[in-house]
Amino acid sequence: MWSSLVRTVVLACLLAPSAGCSREGVELDTSFLSPPSSTAEARVPLALDCDDLPPLSPEEAARPPLSPPRLERSTRGGKEPAWSALPDVTLADAVADKVDEIDEAYFRRTGKHLTVTSGTRDAARQAKAMYKMLRLGGDPMRLYRNKEAAREIKQAYERARAKGKAPDDVVEAMYDVLRAQITRGVYISAHLRAGAVDVRSRDMSSRDKKAFVAAVNEAKGVTLLEESAPPHWHLQVD
C-alpha cells in the first residue's frame, strides 16, 4: 500500500506540471509517507519523535500563520561555518556553536564536513509541514508515537477541510492545536524543542559513522539518535 502511495505521489507530480509540480518531482522525498522503521539503532533513546516532514518552499514558509521572530544563526566574526546546511534550517547560536565543535572533531578524523538537514521548528512551520504531508497522503497517526497528539492535529485538519475552509485557515486550525499542546508541555516532534539538529548520514561510510559518534561524545552535552527512515542522525543539544 505504501509503495503504491509513494508511486502515486511522484507520478502525480510528473503528470501535473500545471499544478505546480515540475521534473524535480522525480526526486521528491516521500520518506515521510512510510511507516516508522523499527530498524533504527538508538544510541540514546529519546521520548520525542524526530520527524522528517516534506520541505517547505519559501512561498509556503512565508504564508500565515507566522510565529514571532526568533534568534537565527549568526556567524562568528562574519565567517560562514565550515559545515553546510539546507536553506530553511534555523539554529540558535549556542546550538550552531555546538555543531561547529562536532564538525571540527569530525573533520579531524575524516577530512570531511557535516551537512545539517533540519533544525528547530516553530509551531507555525510544523503546522505547514504537517498540512503538506497530509495533502500528499501521509498519515500523522503512523509517523508519531504520541497518537493522541497526532489525532488532535489530524482532526483539526479534517474538520477545517470538511467546512470548506481555505488552505491558510486549515493550517491556522492545526497551528492552534499545536500551540495548545505546547502550552500543556506536549511536543509532538523533537524539532519543536530548542536544540534539535538533524545531520545527514546517507553519505557516511561505517568508518565515518564511528568518527561522528566519537565527535559527538567529545563535544559532550549532546544526545544522539540514529534514524533510518530516511537515514540521518538526530542530535538534541542540552
pLDDT tens digits, residue range 18-53? 333 222 333 333 343 443 333 333 343 334 455 567
Cβ–Cβ under 8 Å, residues 199 and 114: yes
Cβ–Cβ under 8 Å, residues 80 and 53: no
pTM over 0.85: no
Task: State the pLDDT at residue 26.
Answer: 30
Q: For the chain, what is the mean pLDDT?
A: 77
Q: What is the mean pLDDT of residues 93-105?
A: 94
pLDDT digits (tens, 9 = 90+) for 112-122: 999 998 888 88
CB atoms within 10 A of CB 93: 13
Looking at per-residue confidence, does 237 or 76 come out higher? 237
- 208 has pLDDT over 60: yes
- 67 has pLDDT over 80: no
Question: Could you give the CA distance from residue 95 to residue 223 in angstroms, rounded to a whole number?
Answer: 13
Q: What is the mean pLDDT of residues 209-237?
A: 90
- 228 has pLDDT over 80: no
Looking at per-residue confidence, does 60 or 201 come out higher? 201
% of the chain with per-residue pLDDT over 70: 67
